[in-house]
Structure 1
Amino acid sequence: MTPSSWHLIFIHGFLGCPKDWQAVVRELPEAWTWEAVTLPGHGAVLAETEDVMEQMVNTVRRALASAPVSRRVAMVGYSLGGRVLLHALRQGLSAPDALVLCSTSAGLSNPEVRSSRLEKDRQWAMVMDDWPWFLEAWYRQPLFESLQQHPQAREILRENRGAMAACAADLAKLIVACSPGQVPACGPALAAVADRTLMISGELDHPYTSQLRHAPHLYPGIITRTVPDAGHAVHLECPVVLASLITEFLGKEQP
């Protein structure tokens, strides 16, 4: 296959939407094709009778199943989107030809850390009925502090996140059901695909950058990259750099 034969599937994070990837895909090779999925709870109503994470996984399954058979497929997941992708692999999804995980970890294994994270996510769920207050508080977290240095990213958030007030009830369910403190860790699933995976974190996203340093030891064969002057929302803060890293990685992945 030639370098023009990639099809990319982008999976947004919590509170995200397909538009989050627009500045990234503008910088990719024109010959590549792509799609950006919408995770359940972020527009489409969650089904009451189906497990929330299973609904997420099924979205990923459908996207991969509908990818053009004539192209190699790369899946790009950010934060929650990356975790959903790993859970899909854990449940037996046939791995795509390449994976890019942005600001994503394989999950939590320490029981105390898991319990603390689940309680924190439950507290977030309880305040989502006051959507403006929740949004302001959510993006005041240290994780997103560097967003203040990126006006274009703040504008995307202003345009897209406010409209999600109508989804608040579903998002409250989702943040608990998909909490890293609730769902199993996916270390073995990541290890199994490490030789086709690029893992990226923002330099200013200290918890994830710390995990990134240990990734080559835990997942032999994985490629790691750090984006300077970026925090957790690396795809919004530094889309040009992210696109460059993806292009470089997939160029090396040609058979």
Structure 2
Amino acid sequence: MLTIHQVFTTPSKPKLLLLHGFLGNHRDWSQVLNSLSQGFDVYLVDLPGHGDSGHVSVNDLQQLLKLLHLSIGANVSGPYHLLGYSMGGRLALHYANFCHQHNVDDILSLTLEACHPGLTDSQQQTQRWQSDQGWAKRFANEPLETVLNDWYLQPVFAELTPQQRQTLIEARLTNNGEALANMMTIMSLANQPNFWDLPQSLNYSVHYLVGALDSKFLGLAHQWQQHSPKLSYQVIADAGHNVHRAQSHAFSQAVQHQLEP
């Protein structure tokens, strides 16, 4: 089972389940917990190879989805709002599709922070697979600090200051390199189905949060909303790829506003 940390305030409050991104864990949400727990009973999932689920390994995506389903069922009673960041957002898309296909109706809404709906170009898929496999090989075989130093120099993290980058590297050194490599392979965007149409088929609202400084995902948010009008998106000022870290107050306000009854 996956470890799910529970932040209860009042059982009568709506439930909110959070999925962290690649390299993260439940502590990544610490800056928004106080605000979010004012309106929700919050559940924080540690994904395989990460945080307190570092010992957990899965063989493929279907096993991961079934494990997530069992873990949620064992820890969360009743319906809940689902929110995922980056890789966690893509997993949330996979899981929403899984629940839709299996007639599971526990999800009240879906909120996605800076995640990709899927590559539609075969050349891009090939390039992404080669890139992910290169990183996976490095995570599995090289000193973790060396790989992390290079990881956080990627353009998507360009808004980080040197101190912020170093803080993230130090926080990620507790992860298991081989387990990270496994998750990178399983969750590769190269193999992700096309979820551009998914919001239209779900019977609940789908929201998207993106930082104004995250040009790549800002463009994706606009394209996705044009493709699937049911999707709503909100741009958070002075934030890059990780909105909940860069602008925790604005992030929490946006989530509460989107999900209020």
Q: TM-score, normalised by structure 1?
A: 0.86
CA deviations 1:173-227 (Å, max 9, x no partner) are: 2212211112322223333238511101111111110011122221122210011
2:44: which partner in 1?
Answer: 36
Q: Paired residue for 2:238?
A: 229
TM-score normalized with structure 2 length: 0.84
Aligned in 2, Cα 1:143/1:190: closer, same or farther, shift over 3 Å? same
> Which of 248, 253, 256 lines up with 1:247 in the alignment?
256
Q: Give unmatched runs, 5+ long, in structure 1.
A: none
SS where residue 83 of structure 2 aligns? strand
| 1:131 paired residue number | 144
Q: Which residue of 2 aligns with 1:220?
A: 229
Per the alignment, residue 5 of structure 2 pairs with none
Matched with 2:156 is: 143
Match of 1:78 in 2: 85
Q: Distance in 1 between matches of 2:66 and 2:202?
A: 20
Aligned residues of 2:211 and 2:243 also touching (Cα < 8 A): yes
| Inter-CA distance 60–219: structure 2 relative to 1 (3 Å threshold) | farther
Deviations 1:18-69 (A, max 9, x none): 000111121125252011001112112314xx31x22432343235424232
Number of positions where the alignment pairs a residue of Structure 1 with one of Structure 2: 240
Change (3 A) 1:229 1:31: closer
2:206 aligned to 171, 184, 197, which one?
A: 197
Secondary structure of 1:104's match?
coil
Confirm whether residue 6 of structure 1 aligns to residue 14 of structure 2. yes
**1:9 touches 1:63 (CA, 8 Å); kept in 2?**
no
Deviations 1:91-147 (A, max 9, x none): 235351111100112111211111111111111112222211110111111101112
Partner of 1:99: 110
CA distance in 2, matches of 1:137, 1:155: 11
Q: What code does the residue aligned with 1:56 have?
A: L
Paired position in structure 1 for 2:6: none
If asked which structure has higher relative contact order (CA below 8 Å, sep 6+), I would say 1
Secondary structure of the residue that 2:189 maps to in structure 1? coil
- Per mean C-alpha deviation after superposition, the further-off stretch among 184-193 and 74-83 is 184-193
Whole-angstrom distance in 1 between the partners of 2:24 and 2:131: 20
Partner of 1:46: 57
In structure 1, C-alpha distance between the alignment counterparts of 2:259 and 2:188, rounded to whole Å: 30
Stretches of 4+ moved more than 3 A in 1?
Answer: 153-156
Retained in 1: the 8 A contact 2:210–2:221? yes
- CA contact under 8 A between 1:20 and 1:156: conserved in structure 2? no
Unpaired runs of 5+ residues, structure 2, are 1-11
Identity percentage over the alignment? 26
